[in-house]
Amino acid sequence: MTCNAAPFLISRANEQVKVDICYNNTNVKLFGLNAGASYGPLASTHHSIDDISVMRGFGNIQIFAPASPLECRQIIEYALKHVGPVYIRMDGKSLPELHDSSYQFVPGAIDVLREGDEIALVAMGSTVHEAVDAAAQLNEQGVSAKVISVPSVRPLDRDAFLRTLNGIEHIITVEEHNVNGGVGSITAEILADNGHSALLKRLGIPDGEYAIAADRKDMRMHHGFDAASIVHHALGLLNR
């Protein structure tokens, strides 16, 4: 088991993770601490906005991004029992609980937190909370928004994911990660592979940019994936 700050665990030790752990299918659990832009003002040297895309390139490692304390505990319990490499993207801040005691994490399963039929908000990790807040704000404006959390990046039940999107023609993905290689890319791949015609807007750190050096609230606002920005983009999509 290895715990380290996500930018150093994934970037500095990249070849060791690739060869020693993944290629050799070693039974190692990697905990990427303070992922995304958790380190805020410490800037790009301490931000981990490409870890999911990097780990997805290593074919046999399981990848998880918990969005709540209960989900995190259950993912860790699963990972410790699983034989094989696992990467868990851990947030650096305390996250509110999203689930009641009946929740049971299932590897590969998506987590529908709110039903809706006009637009789907798909998020990963800590940004699930921005999506939940945005959905509540949209509801106040008469917009029915479904909220889908993706805690299990690999394995992922893509057929089940697609079924939750059936009938929805507007989708926004949200992640504290580059828009390439994370949950936005996964959603785009699923839509394209199955000929789904929904309009998709990917929110996160834009292509070709680094996360700004700022506290999380200001950083998300600047890059346009806080709750208010999600609402703005959702209304824009629906009015196209």
Residues 120, 48, single domain; the answer is no
> Mind listing the pLDDT tens digit for each residue in 135-185?
999 999 999 999 999 999 999 999 999 999 999 999 999 999 999 999 999
In a domain, 225, yes or no: yes
CA-CA distance, 42 to 222, in Å (whole number)? Answer: 16
Residues 117, 207, single domain; the answer is yes
Residues 117, 40, single domain; the answer is no
Query: Which ranges constitute the DSSP H helices of 82-210?
Result: 128-140, 158-165, 183-193
Residues 186, 231, single domain; the answer is yes
Write down the pLDDT at residue 240.
84
Domain of 161: which CATH number? 3.40.50.920
* Contact indicator for 56, 89 with CB cutoff of 8 Å: no
Residues 58, 157, single domain; the answer is no
Write down the pLDDT at residue 2.
81
Residues 147, 226, single domain; the answer is yes
Two structure tokens written together for 121: 């908000």
> Mind listing the pLDDT tens digit for each residue in 171-227?
999 999 999 999 999 999 999 999 999 999 999 999 999 999 999 999 999 999 999
Write down the pLDDT at residue 137.
98
Residues 135, 82, single domain; the answer is no
Residues 157, 220, single domain; the answer is yes
In a domain, 101, yes or no: no
Query: Which ranges constitute the DSSP H helices of the chain?
Result: 6-7, 14-16, 51-56, 69-81, 128-140, 158-165, 183-193, 216-223, 227-238
Residues 77, 151, single domain; the answer is no
Write down the pLDDT at residue 92.
83
Residue with tokens 């998709």: 200
Domain of 148 in residue numbering reads as 111-238
> Mind listing the pLDDT tens digit for each residue in 3-48?
889 989 998 899 999 999 999 999 999 999 999 999 999 999 999 9
Instruction: Read off the pTM.
Output: 0.96
CA-CA distance, 139 to 141, in Å (whole number)? Answer: 5
Write down the pLDDT at residue 93.
83
Residues 71, 175, single domain; the answer is no
